[in-house]
Amino acid sequence: MLRYSCEDGRVVDAAFLALGDRDLAVLSLDGAEPALLTIAASASGARYVGAGLQWWGKGQDEAMLAPLAEGEDIASAAGTTCRADQPATP
């Protein structure tokens, strides 16, 4: 599990899982109940969507968290940058 601090003051706990052929992210925002996000197509990096959220990162040190509006599969909102409190080790 990695903890991220976001520029808007939120804290995100994130875990990344592979279940069979599915890549998943489990995110908890500010200690709330975890949300399950599934991998989605992206031009670069890893993008996960679900529970009204988009989490898009390159590596595990930094990601963008954005809300998904109803009917969106790519967030139109700019979102906020989140950085791992302790960088991932290679």
Enter the pTM of the model: 0.91
Q: How far is CA 1 from CA 16, 60, 77, 84, in A?
A: 8, 11, 26, 10
Question: What are the pLDDT digits (tens) for 72-84?
Answer: 999 999 999 999 9
Task: Indicate the DSSP class of residue 31.
Answer: T
C-alpha dihedral (83, 44, 41, 75), degrees to nearest 10: 50
Domain residue limits, the chain: 2-70
Of 38, 43, 45, give the one whose Cα is nearest residue 16. Answer: 38
For 49-65, how does the pLDDT look when each residue is reduced to its tens digit (9 = 90+)? 999 999 999 888 999 99
Segment 20-30, tens digit of pLDDT = 999 999 999 99
User: Measuring CA to CA, how many Å separate 89 from each of 44, 45, 61?
Assistant: 21, 18, 9
The pLDDT, as a whole number, for residue 87 is 60
Give the torsion sign (CA, 71, 19, 78, 43): negative
In CATH, what number does 2-70 get? 2.40.128.200
Residue 89 pLDDT > 70, yes or no?
Answer: no
Confidence of residue 9 (pLDDT cuts 50, 70, 90): very high
Checking if the pLDDT of 34 tops 60, the result is yes
